[in-house]
Structure 1
């Protein structure tokens, strides 16, 4: 009888542990650009496994910090992560690639720009659409907040940095309007016929239009071919000893099923 009771107790303990593991929430935070596709991945994975995945769009810098400090199991970044931003034991996994679309209002007749022209616009050196082949009118520059991974990648690719007292700072004109997140930038550009902004390629919809850059359209095919010049990785950061649930979720994102979702959302799958 005692042996039976001991076995029953052992089984109950195992069941309790397994239930606790199954109910453990996977926490993910960071880049608002990655958040859109991550929410779909999380919902699909939760429905498939019964494991809850909580996603918060807080910005790339905040996501990197959360992964470093362990306040999130997984941190999302939509830009390359500097070595100085990572502690020992923090790993990076590229889960997708994305283009940064240069977006204008649907009423803007301009079709294309070069990277040099885009940089000049964002530096404030070009201030009228007629200077780059468009209809006369003031250019309203819309950028992202300084914590944005999209902004970090945009500045890096277009070399929008300058030195002040030996320190690198943003070269984007201080007259630029600031949007907090892809959604806000989209709204600002969609509601202003003179505006220009940059957003994740997967966020482009009929409310605005993506310009051709350096002779290449902003498409998944062009990014895969290496033709579209403004592209960046989507990265997940995690501690090397992260919980198994978090590691399993990351592995599933890299599977064919996860990558199909990435592609359906308009991003560039790894496979």
Structure 2
């Protein structure tokens, strides 16, 4: 079992590394075929012999396909999860499409997907249609700028004023005499919804550019003088400057401590509760909430939900 666990984590790492080469385009569809080598499924400590046998039987018999549709911000996590889960269950294929949170919730609502990935909480009207909010991880929203920007710290009010159009030049914040290029996500994006709700800026942002993926925001911020944008914490790299907010860096430790104010849930929504789903989907959630699943969440730069 220890050997299998190490193999699983190694595969997760490979999945994460490959994400660095992905371009930030709008709609993406990923399907990875399971390897031929079978591995044993894990069992929960403290279970009875009958429960263990039942779980092993379920693992042996699991076969078929799981479809996930939704948030581009969840791409790294969803891809790593798919790879590891298919290693554990070789007769299962996990398909993931990354088209935005709103589209993901719509897909699970109308039954065209098993899981709708959303980088925001569900709205009351979405829950009213029978969609269950299953929080699988906590993510921070990082504020990024072009690397040459001399401003590296913003207060909450300063960030609000940049995005509502009150502050338009970096010199007003102690930086260069340079117009601020305000970058954001497209309407329907979970990252945009969470960002605007956290800052109470719903429908009030004055965007210069509205882009359709996390990768596109990163690329635009990295290449545009005077830019500012917001992205998921787990995609940060040295191509951009990462801003401190209220003198606090966006790290998992600071988010857990509650000192960094821009954070949001990663949700894997289902039509009905998890207990009502297929054996395949229930097994996927069992893995996510297991110790191995929590290690995977941490490995992609997120915070376990429980």
Q: Same fold (TM over 0.5)?
A: yes
1:42 alignment counterpart: 82
CA deviation digits over 1:221-261, x for unaligned, max 9?
Answer: 10010110000000111123321101110121111111111
Deviates more, 1:230-239 or 1:241-250: 241-250
Question: Out of 185, 188, 211, which is 2:243 matched to?
Answer: 211
Using the size of structure 2 for normalisation, the TM-score is 0.77
Q: Which of 147, 171, 195 is 2:204 aligned to?
A: 171
| CA-CA distance at 1:90 after TM superposition | 2.4
Match of 1:12 in 2: none
Q: How many residues are matched?
A: 245
- Kindly indicate whether residue 108 of structure 2 is the aligned counterpart of residue 67 of structure 1: yes
Across the aligned residues of Structure 1 and Structure 2, the Cα RMSD in angstroms comes to: 1.7
Return the alpha-carbon distance in structure 2 between the equivalents of residues 133 and 158 of structure 1: 22
Aligned residue number for residue 304 of structure 2:
269
The match for 2:157 is: 116
Cα deviation code 1:34-53 (max 9, x no counterpart): 12211101111101111111
State the structure with more CA Rg: 1
**2:265 match: secondary structure:** strand
Q: What's the offset of the Cα at 1:88?
A: 4.6
Structure 1 range deviating more: 237-246 or 119-128: 237-246
Match of 1:234 in 2: 266
TM-score (norm 1): 0.87
Question: Which of the residues 203, 215, 233 maps onto 1:201?
Answer: 233
Q: CA offset at residue 219 of structure 1?
A: 0.6
**1:244 pairs with 2:256:** no
Unaligned runs of 5+ in 1: 1-17, 162-169
Select which of 23, 29, 53 maps to 2:69.
29
The 2-side partners of 1:88 and 1:40 are apart by 30
Shift of 1:33: 0.7
